[in-house]
A = this chain, B = another copy of it.
Amino acid sequence: MGVVVGKLAIVGQGLIGSSITRAAFAARAAREVVVTDASAKVRRRVTELGIGEARVVETAADAAAGADLVVICVPVGRIVAVARDIAGALKDGAVVCDVGSVKAEVAAGMRAALPAAVHLVPAHPLAGTEFSGPDAGQANLFSSRWCILTPPERTSAEAVAAARAFWEALGAQVAIMSPLLHDRVLSVTSHLPHLIAFSIFHTALRMEEEFASEVIKFSAGGFRDFTRIASSNPGMWRDIFLSNREPVLETLARFRDDIETFARAIEAGDGERLEALLSTSRLTRRKIIEKEHISLQPAREEALPPLISPYASDD
């Protein structure tokens, strides 16, 4: 791709931040890379790792000074505070991205914190691993992954193009949508699944107590995946649920309706209706796979472990 940014500043060197640092060097996307982290321990570790010979500085403002592109890679709950910290140091025309998984509320806070002459292009790369910290970063983390940009309405086309070029240089596939659509889409594809996984874990724990039996030990298909999701960082998810409150609660209400429809068919013993409901999911899943909606990453998709199904079927 070649150089798409002059001076790149990356605030936060956890999994995503350090992956961006690695990916930017691997792609030679920037002429100069300056990074920082609120934690002195993390800054030391990044220096030790010598990731792509990035220059490590002490504060977000130091990193942002004179940068053409600043990427804020801190948890949702801290993004606006970082925007305030760097506001005075940013040069006119600088582009600022975050990488948070909630957009509307946080973007409004960032926009208010940043000078008018700075371009805000909020970003959400749909990528990650279950690990955290600078050692967990991977240069290819964004490769063939979606990165959703949610620029405010009057953002200059040049700033959006610059942000797009940057994420594409890291290997991501860019989609652009409104912050509200992003938050609604993610409320069903990410936030609700997490809320459910956390909840069902509580359900299983209560049943263990009541039956005085080790329920979870006998995890068959489904639950194992849920418990992996439920082991995600609680502080991070608290912030996500609270920052995306309305879409999450709306999606939850829709989900409640849908599960109610299934429950009514089970309660009525209506096998025909139940099978029709179950078949829709399967057919759609197949359609989705055909359209490669989900399997953007064939290599990783193939590495999925086998589903555990309760018994063989002859069909």
Q: Which residues of A come within 8 Å of B, CB atoms?
A: 12-19, 37-39, 42, 73-76, 99-101, 124, 126-133, 136, 146, 148, 175, 177, 181, 184-186, 188-190, 192-207, 211, 213-242, 245, 248-249, 251-252, 254-256, 258-259, 261-263, 266-267, 269, 271, 274-275, 277-282, 284-286, 288, 293-294, 300, 303-315
Residues of B within 8 Å of A240, CB to CB, are: 310
Q: 4 tightest A-B contacts by CB?
A: A14-B312, A193-B222, A101-B310, A129-B306
Verify B16–A234 contact, CB threshold 8 A. no
| Complex: A205 Cα to B285 Cα, angstroms | 10
Say yes or no: A185-B218 contact (C-beta < 8 A), given A192-B203, A203-B192, A267-B249: yes
| Complex: A259 Cα to B209 Cα, angstroms | 18
Verify A238–B274 contact, CB threshold 8 A. yes
Say yes or no: A193-B202 contact (C-beta < 8 A), given A228-B304, A286-B231, A304-B228: no
Q: How many copies of this chain does the complex contain?
A: 2
Verify A223–B189 contact, CB threshold 8 A. yes
The answer, among B99, B198, B215, B263, for a CB contact under 8 Å with A249, is B263
Verify B133–A217 contact, CB threshold 8 A. no
Say yes or no: A263-B269 contact (C-beta < 8 A), given A206-B258, A306-B131: no
Verify A255–B203 contact, CB threshold 8 A. yes
Residue of B nearest to A136 (CB): B312
Verify B308–A126 contact, CB threshold 8 A. yes
Residues of B within 8 Å of A279, CB to CB, are: 234
Verify A205–B284 contact, CB threshold 8 A. yes
Verify A309–B263 contact, CB threshold 8 A. no
| Complex: A266 Cα to B99 Cα, angstroms | 22
Verify B312–A16 contact, CB threshold 8 A. yes
Residues of B within 8 Å of A245, CB to CB, are: 266-267, 269
Verify B203–A254 contact, CB threshold 8 A. yes
28 of the cross-chain contacts (CB-CB < 8 Å) are A14-B311, A14-B314, A15-B311, A129-B309, A132-B312, A132-B313, A136-B312, A146-B217, A148-B218, A185-B207, A189-B215, A189-B219, A193-B222, A199-B261, A199-B262, A202-B258, A203-B251, A205-B280, A217-B288, A224-B294, A227-B288, A230-B285, A231-B285, A233-B309, A235-B315, A238-B271, A242-B274, A303-B305
Residues of B within 8 Å of A185, CB to CB, are: 207, 211, 213, 215, 218
Residues of B within 8 Å of A75, CB to CB, are: 311-314
Residues of B within 8 Å of A307, CB to CB, are: 128-130, 228-229, 231-232
Verify B128–A306 contact, CB threshold 8 A. yes
Residues of B within 8 Å of A251, CB to CB, are: 203, 207
Interface hub of A17, A76, A223 (most chain B Cβ within 10 A): A223
| Complex: A309 Cα to B102 Cα, angstroms | 13
Interface hub of A200, A229, A281 (most chain B Cβ within 10 A): A281
| Complex: A221 Cα to B228 Cα, angstroms | 10
